[in-house]
Structure 1
């Protein structure tokens, strides 16, 4: 036995030069993903599937779950419950190939290729994927602030803000006045403020509060699906919704949370039961502070693979990206994530990610069973986004087609939830 152990020791010693490289084998390249909304969660899912362990996907997200705010207007209407748009992150965090880090990313050190977390710890990366959503410009509406949002909610991000808006809507008395201030472009989900007005009117009318008035005091002269919404408001909610462009209201002078008033150059709306202020938006601070944003406030990316125009080791997805004329929609974010995942896998494994194909679809509900849709495709031409095949629902569509469109939205959402979050 001693002789056998001696021989074994000598053999290992002789092979030491060959064995060490195996023991000290480099870890697989790390891709750090910041944010687990539709964009970040989709990328992590697709990349883990493609890499099959050849790369480490680290997903950084402090929240316990995801509230699909792009479906929240249906909750306001009373057609669905909040639980139907909430998904916990448990299944995603356990997914093979994804390492979950329940923390908040506060900075991106591009020189050192590290993501800085709120506790000061750092995550090194070979590549980083930035999908942090949006930041709100609390100074973009005179008289409104972060503190004022506790009285005049935006409900454009964050679970608590949505719950606040829902409680306020439920408490509006018959005959009460509601004012909605939509944001300037570019913004998250451009048709959503107008769908929100529609779903508020639906809820009010369905609960016997048909004497309420909703004033949309807009910063824009035109808005997405404008003809469809104006037609629907006249058809379903006559006398309930007024849309006022700047050429009529002459600009918002200030809002006053203490008196629940909105002052414009044309009229002052006093003693409002609800004021929904949706401010201007930008990419979040982590993107801006790291120099990835341009004059638009968002992060320019190349159409070939969603790489940052500033740093080729960083991809920017979803609402934080400036992707040409592509709308900031959940469908677009999912589409961008698939392109970026293929590009990352191709770089780490060798080969090509294939020609990029992007699509955006945006559904809006006008009333129960009356859905409309806009869609477009985008190609990469000289690394720029070129839009083609743009379609939008027609005003004279049949009720059957509108019902099919409404159902399509629900089917897509259920598929996304199953594929990405569950």
Structure 2
């Protein structure tokens, strides 16, 4: 178990060695963080290390802990355990300089600089960090709804939904039919629906249910890492996974939870054993209610520090942010949090933090010990996000490279979990 001094040294390494002096204030400023996923928890960790008591850091999060859904496909595939992807907030809440408020934030009163909680109470702030995760449009798929998600799960946020998807997958008989409806762009973790299909197929095949069929009825004509997934499905799961773009299926006309059917312009898939509906995604309601989102449905931010273009006292991090072409990934959220923490420390303590750098590292598991990776790195040109590196795994990589990718993915997850949740 790392000591507090060791932890602080590691965190300052992530923050580029920025070690700011403590500056006495008449009263500590209050920084309120909304949401404790990767973005919010990373920001809380980094800001506490940098500010060292110079500000009151308040973390508003109603859940008792965090389920790393970006790692959940491995649980479906039998390659990770549920407890591995769950982290309670107790250790984070005990960290020096952080106060956890177990409540749900519903809106920011920007004029008064107050966060309004579900019980009507208010928290004043000097700076606010909005990191509420992703919002789902329950009206975007005809026939589907918030209530229908209890039968046709999205499993895109929340532990309960993922547990439901896992139970349904475990109960499918050999020969059962699965339909996955991936969302249009932009969305959280773009390759995840296709990794989900791969891991479902791996679990079904390993348990003697190789006659099951998975139909991916996509909202897009192309998808992230497309060539890699199509090649893997042919090699590892022949005949099990079929991908249909809109030009083939002619659009989803309706889903019917009562009959577990999916009607498209091309075919109706009836009596499905599992229908995974992943709908259109937006910033969550709190961002919309606080007038932080634009016509894209997400919250535009400046590239220098992730500050909202609508309010200089607010930073938006993670999936809710519209950060140019940066993918919505855990790695991106973590790097955004580091940039924002440096910016907040600079503002409150008066030291220059250097130019911002962001990265989105995204691993996908195709099969056991076969991982692929994409890397996109960004900097700020004026206040716009500019990529300066964009790479993806190749089709003909060696098995040693693919296994190393899978190991790197596990190491990234383990290190991030220890850094921000332990």
Same fold (TM over 0.5): yes
For residue 179 of structure 2, give the secondary structure of its aligned residue in structure 1: strand
Deviation per residue, 1:356-394 (Å, 9 max, x gap) = 000000000000000000011001012000012111000
Provide the C-alpha distance between the structure 1 equivalents of 2:250 and 2:117, rounded to a whole number of angstroms.
Answer: 45
Structure 1 counterpart of 2:300 = 300
Is residue 278 of structure 2 the alignment partner of residue 278 of structure 1? yes
Once the two structures are TM-superposed, the CA of residue 80 in structure 1 deviates from its matched residue by 1.3
Counterpart secondary structure, 1:71: helix
Q: Distance in 2 between matches of 1:80 and 1:314?
A: 37
**For 1:252-271, what aligned pairs fall within 5 Å after superposition?**
252-271=252-271
SS of residue paired to 2:175: coil
Q: CA deviation at 1:81?
A: 1.0
Q: Measure how far apart 1:228 and its partner are.
A: 0.2
Instruction: Tell me the distance in 1 between the aligned counterparts of 2:300 and 2:222.
Output: 25
Shift of 1:79: 1.3
Q: CA deviation at 1:304?
A: 0.2
Unaligned runs of 5+ in 2: 1-24
1:27 deviation in Å? 2.2
Alignment correspondent of 1:125 = 125
Report whether the alignment pairs 1:187 with 2:187.
yes
What is the CA-CA distance between 1:290 and the residue it aligns to? 1.1
The reply on whether 1:365 has 2:365 as its aligned counterpart is: yes
Displacement of 1:310 in angstroms is 0.5
Match of 1:113 in 2: 113
SS in structure 2 of the partner of residue 291 of structure 1: coil
CA distance in 2, matches of 1:184, 1:219: 5
Q: Distance in 2 between matches of 1:146 and 1:58?
A: 31
2:249 counterpart of 1:225: no
Residue correspondence of structure 1 range 287-326 to structure 2 within 5 A: 287-326=287-326
How much is the aligned-residue C-alpha RMSD, in angstroms? 0.6
Report the CA distance between 1:398 and its aligned residue: 0.2
C-alpha distance in 1 between matches for 2:343 and 2:79: 40
- Between the aligned partners of 1:101 and 1:389, the Cα distance in structure 2 is 39
* SS of residue matched to 2:379: strand
Aligned length: 398
Give the CA deviation at 1:26.
3.7
SS for the counterpart of 1:287 is: helix
Deviations 1:132-158 (A, max 9, x none): 001110000000000000000000000
Q: Within 1, Cα distance between the matches of 2:274 and 2:364? A: 22
Q: Match of 1:395?
A: 395
Deviation at 1:83, TM superposition (A): 0.5
Secondary structure of residue in 1 paired with 2:253: strand
Secondary structure of 1:311's partner?
Answer: coil
CA–CA distance in 2 between the matches of 1:27 and 1:35? Answer: 25
Alignment pair present for 1:31 and 2:31? yes
In structure 1, distance between residues paired with 2:346 and 2:353? 5
- Pair 1:236 & 2:236 matched: yes
- Using structure 1 for the length normalisation, give the TM-score: 0.94
Alpha-carbon separation, structure 1, partners of 2:353 and 2:172: 52
Q: Which residue of 1 aligns with 2:384?
A: 384
Tell me, yes or no, if structure 1 residue 144 matches structure 2 residue 144: yes
Q: Is 2:186 the counterpart of 1:206?
A: no
User: Which structure has the bigger radius of gyration?
Assistant: 1
Query: 1:71 Cα shift?
Result: 0.4
| Partner-residue secondary structure (3-state), 1:103 | coil
Cα distance in 2, alignment partners of residues 383 and 352 from structure 1: 17
SS at match of 1:140: coil
Q: Which residue of 2 aligns with 1:172?
A: 172
TM value normalised by structure 2: 0.94
Which contiguous aligned blocks of 4+ residues in structure 1 show a shift greater than 4 angstroms? none
Q: Deviations over 1:320-378 (max 9, x none)?
A: 00000000000000000000000000000002121000000000000000000001100
Distance 2:261 2:288 in 1: 33
Equivalent residue number for residue 354 of structure 1: 354
